[in-house]
Amino acid sequence: MKPWLEFDCQYLYESGFALDAKFSLQGRVAALCGPSGSGKTTVVSLIAGILKPRRGIVTLCDDTIVDLPKGVCLRPEHRRVGLTFQDRRLFPHLSVARNIAYGARRRVVEDELQQRIIDILELTNLLDRYPAHLSGGEQQRVALARALASGPRALLLDEPLSAVEAPLQSRIAEFSEAVVRDLEIPTLLISHNQQLVERLADEVVVISEGRIHSTAA
């Protein structure tokens, strides 16, 4: 099976922390695991285009999105990556429906697909509500729907359970599993939650102190 993601990048923070990581992903759902401060979110940010590496090459679904030796570094909106953050980052002044629509603003996404996303994540009864009136679990589902509404070719989930109430974590795991299964989108999961990793991932990459330590299917 050909890798859907090939990553080989270096990044240096002013604090002195350095990322120097190389790995490839073949499994439909891969988990990037490691302690806090190990470089997980840096990897996600480099793939999504939030950060620019000092050196690097990133290939996503057969397209080169970063190749600094050749002067290639696509803008985030041209990478077609769906990203959910730990803090969700919903627009407080927009309803659930408009938050989801914002995700689709740069791409033509079929109404049927948008409705399918809403159905899978059970958001129909929440479309007119605003983020301030949603639980943490509901906000996470909206953030996931917004990421999917952009029509991504790959999905990056950065600690999807970290800000969700403990009683709801199992339910959010169910929604995440349904999305991955039904929409068949290659996914990189960042998580400290061992149960979520075991439930969703068919490949695990371990990172520590900015270096890849192991990869296992």
Q: Residue 86 — pLDDT band, cuts 50, 70, 90? A: confident
Q: Residue 107 — pLDDT band, cuts 50, 70, 90? A: low
- Per-residue model confidence (pLDDT) at position 18: 97
Report the domain count for the chain: 1
Residue 201 domain boundaries: 5-216
pLDDT tens, residue by residue, 13-46: 999 999 999 999 998 899 999 999 999 999 999 9
Minimum mean pLDDT range among 29-38, 142-151, 200-209: 142-151
HSE toward the beta carbon, residue 181, CA cutoff 13 A: 10
Minimum mean pLDDT range among 16-30, 67-81, 136-150, 152-166: 152-166
- Per-residue model confidence (pLDDT) at position 196: 82
Cβ–Cβ under 8 Å, residues 207 and 213: yes
**3-class DSSP assignment, residue 116:** helix
Whether residue 5 has pLDDT greater than 70: yes
pTM: 0.88
Which spans in the chain are helix H?
Answer: 40-48, 96-103, 111-120, 136-149, 169-183, 194-200
Q: What is the CATH number of the domain that holds 148?
A: 3.40.50.300
- Per-residue model confidence (pLDDT) at position 165: 67
- Per-residue model confidence (pLDDT) at position 92: 94
| Strand bridging mode 81-84 / 154-158 | parallel
